[in-house]
Amino acid sequence: MLYFFIGLLASIFGALAGLGGGIIIKPVLDFFGHYEVTTIGILSAATVFSMACVSLLTSIKSDVKIHLKSSFLIAIGSITGGVIGKLLFNYIVRIIGISDVITVFQDGIIAILMVVIFILVKNKEKTSYKVDSQCLILVIGFILGMIAAFLGIGGGPFNVAILALFFSMGAREAALNSIFIIFFSQLSSLLFTTFTTGFSDLDLTMLPYMIVGGMLGGFLGSLFSKKVNNQFVEKIFKVGIIAIISVNIYNIVRYFFY
């Protein structure tokens, strides 16, 4: 039930605000400390992917639409960047070999990036652009995918911030397009693991419960999204970012002082 509710609550926030869920699942599972870093990455990716599938299907009749050109280009770039990020992550795991050290390193980077995103999103009216260059969009997607794959998260907050800042999207619009990008990035991440290291060495006994939670969360989050305005989604996004920063900082402090 614990893992079901982690998947459910993370996916509701993920579908509603475009956070994806992985950025919540990763630090929460680090907090409980039941699994090592590689297993957490797979649990997160599978849960977020199931959320994205249901959320996109539920949003078909939504008044908010997906910007297919820009979002698909970002998705393509994120797939390529995701492969590089996974290779880099696997290399560091082999070199360091200590799961706790890698976890603290990831949590530290996530906390710093979340602070930057919070500041940028809060001041987005002063720094909003409209990017049209296809090459630049692919590069943006590549960077997003590499960061998300290396950190073991869906990349939702990064997607939302980039879509708001560089493509002038509103909160609900950015959230849906973020989930569209996450669908492809998490699919590629799972396929990459399937055809490289595989899943045989991982303890995935909790995965079915998290997937069910992710699917239900994706449905509920998308349902709520249709009933709220941009201002409410922005508030949920900011609250989610603050919570993520707090959990990551706590995980780091706990590692060094407990």
pLDDT digits (tens, 9 = 90+) for 79-106: 888 888 888 888 887 887 767 788 888 8
Where in the sequence is the domain holding 213, given as residue range(s)? 2-257
Angstrom distance (rounded) from CA 146 to CA 157: 14
**Separation between Cα atoms, residue 124 and residue 48, nearest integer Å:** 26
In this prediction, residue 5 carries a pLDDT of 94
- Four-point Cα dihedral 74, 50, 82, 23, nearest 10: 90
- pLDDT tens, 45-78? 899 999 999 988 888 777 778 888 888 898 899 8
The pLDDT, as a whole number, for residue 210 is 94
pTM: 0.84
Domain count, the chain: 1
How high is the pLDDT of residue 127? 61
pLDDT for 109 beyond 80: yes
Instruction: Work out the end-to-end distance of the chain between its first and last CA atoms, rounded to an integer number of angstroms.
Output: 27
Query: Letter for the amino acid at 182?
Result: I
Q: How far apart are CA 220 and CA 212, in angstroms?
A: 12
